Structure 1
Amino acid sequence: MTAKALLPAGVQVFERGWLSSNNILLCDDTSTTLVDSGYATHAAQTLALVEQALGGRVLDQLVNTHLHSDHCGGNAALQTRYPALHTRIPPGLAEPVRNWSDADLSYQPTGQTCPPFAITGLLQPGSIHRWANSEWEVHAAPGHDPHSVILFNPEHRVLISADALWENGFGVVFPELEGEPGFDDVAASLDLIERLDPHTIIPGHGPVFADSPGALQRARQKLEAFARTPDKHARYGAKVLLKFKLQEFGRLPRADFLRWASGVPYLHTLHQNHGGGSLLQEWLEQMLADLVRTGALADDGETIEDVAN
């Protein structure tokens, strides 16, 4: 039996990929709720998945675990499709959403896209919500993102872990990319997950899994390596940003991709702090070479193409 088969009735997972986060649909007789909405360029697919699963019902609520573009890029499309949709986000970035700021919401610094959306409420840590005939606890889980939350169902011991824990690791620690501390927060969030003791975990990316102890062990090993050598995490973060955008583009002229990368503020910061005195163009070439070497992209000197992995 797969871990996904262990999920309680009313909990449906749309496993997406790496450009779009997983989406979780929570349904009972009284309400329908979607957790996270994927990336903007996949919005049509998100709508189709939700509409098919709802079978003619209306989507009542949308909640976001955090506001990275791959988790909330479909919000605007869902709000257009369902005009009465109630949308809740963690409280930390409520003001930049209400007074939309691409810079404060990370979309401009990362070179990513997220259409503006509205909110009708907050997903407060410590609050409890009834979705899919069960109570779900909201827990703060900073690290990958300072404002991120995770959602835990104690009755069935199901955890929606967002990017705080995957089956093999966790999301890039974005505060560290900005020169701010974040590794200790990752460790604390992993400790929290261990205390919650989930039996089934729905991650932000990748398949549903049940081996919580194994995943925590792998995540802590990865965290220890990053904390010991921050340059390694910085290079990893840079390559994630490059790979993410290439997944969006698919295939494009090499010169255009490097032109885009040269204008991304996060990549400038990473180069300044971890480039070892190299020129930006040289450093970006090193990142691309690493991605080619690991099979993440193809580069024939004229065109760069994403390689699914």
Structure 2
Amino acid sequence: MRVEQLVTSGTFSLDGGTWEVDNNVWLLGDDREVLVIDAAHDASAIAAAVGDRRVSAIVCTHAHDDHVNAAPELAALTGAPVLLHPDDEVLWKLAHQSATPGGRLANGQLLRVGGSAAHVLHTPGHAPGAVCLYVPELGVLFSGDTLFKGGPGATGRSYSDFPTIISSISGTLLTLPGETVVHTGHGEDTSIGAEAPQLEDWIRRGH
């Protein structure tokens, strides 16, 4: 089992604004099959990184358009289902008028790949259906936009809520081992241990 990173570039649009963004696309698997985590911007580049491996699923950490805009095309290229937490269907519909996800994510669900399993953690706040994937065997967490190096994901736009994201981080993510490596949706990696001491400061700044 290994983790591979691909950075793709495009735009994020919500609430009437559009911003240029670089997204981390993560591949979790082995030489035979992979999970794709967040199919952002460029389905062809993601398919090239996958190569001849089977894609067991395309997992959406949430449905902001920069994280799902390449998901239907990648699904068509690979035959893999797109998995999304149902609480984020409202955001999915903003990005895709006709395409629909192929399956649902739920808290506590296990996604098996390459002889291992990723644990789905529902972590609302940045988006109502935001999830993280925890792989204890590798000591890694894929946090989407819930947790970054230096703080929680943004909560200033529609369908987001600051107290909710703080609850998700403190009650779920910060209970993981401190050495857990956090692979984020944008930017650099961090760790649970590096972020945990800053919780009270985040709360003060958020208020």
Bin the TM-score by the shorter chain: 0.7 to 0.9
Displacement of 1:173:
1.1
Displacement of 1:16:
4.0
Equivalent pair of 1:10/1:132 in contact (CA under 8 Å): no
Displacement of 1:78:
0.8
Residue number in structure 2 paired with 1:251: none
1:11 aligned residue (3, 7, 10): 3
Q: Secondary structure at the residue paired with 1:66?
A: coil
Report the Cα distance in structure 2 between the residues aligned to 1:106 and 1:19, rounded to whole angstroms. 18
Cα separation, partners in 2 of 1:16 and 1:26, compared to 1, 3 Å: same
Q: 1:124-163 CA deviation, whole Å, 9 max, x = no partner?
A: 1111121243221111101111211111011222101111
**In angstroms, what is the RMSD of aligned CA positions?**
2.6
Q: 1:164-197 CA deviation, whole Å, 9 max, x = no partner?
A: 11012222115xx44x882221221221211012
Cα separation, partners in 2 of 1:133 and 1:15, compared to 1, 3 Å: farther
Residue 173 in structure 1 maps to residue 169 in structure 2 = no
Residue number in structure 1 paired with 2:85: 90
Displacement of 1:25:
0.8
Equivalent pair of 1:86/1:119 in contact (CA under 8 Å): yes
Question: TM-score scaled by structure 2?
Answer: 0.81
Residue 196 in structure 1 maps to residue 176 in structure 2 = yes
1:216 aligned residue (170, 189, 196): 196
Cα separation, partners in 2 of 1:47 and 1:218, compared to 1, 3 Å: farther
- Residue identity in the other structure for 1:86: P
Q: Secondary structure at the residue paired with 1:15?
A: strand
- Greater share of helix residues, 1 or 2? 1
Residue number in structure 1 paired with 2:14: none
Report the Cα distance in structure 2 between the residues aligned to 1:25 and 1:222, rounded to whole angstroms. 30
Residue number in structure 2 paired with 1:22: 24
- Greater share of strand residues, 1 or 2? 2
Gaps of 5+ in 1: 1-8, 95-103, 228-309
Equivalent pair of 1:165/1:216 in contact (CA under 8 Å): no
Equivalent pair of 1:73/1:115 in contact (CA under 8 Å): no
Residue number in structure 2 paired with 1:47: 44
Cα separation, partners in 2 of 1:154 and 1:60, compared to 1, 3 Å: closer
Cα separation, partners in 2 of 1:106 and 1:152, compared to 1, 3 Å: closer
Cα separation, partners in 2 of 1:91 and 1:28, compared to 1, 3 Å: same
Report the Cα distance in structure 2 between the residues aligned to 1:161 and 1:22, rounded to whole angstroms. 11
Aligned residue pairs, count: 195
Report the Cα distance in structure 1 between the residues aligned to 2:141 and 2:24, rounded to whole angstroms. 13
2:63 aligned residue (67, 72, 80): 67
| Structure-to-structure mapping, 1:135-174, within 5 angstroms | 135-174=117-156
The structure whose Rg is larger is: 1
- Of stretches 22-31 and 131-140 in structure 1, the one that deviates more from structure 2 is 22-31
Gaps of 5+ in 2: 10-19
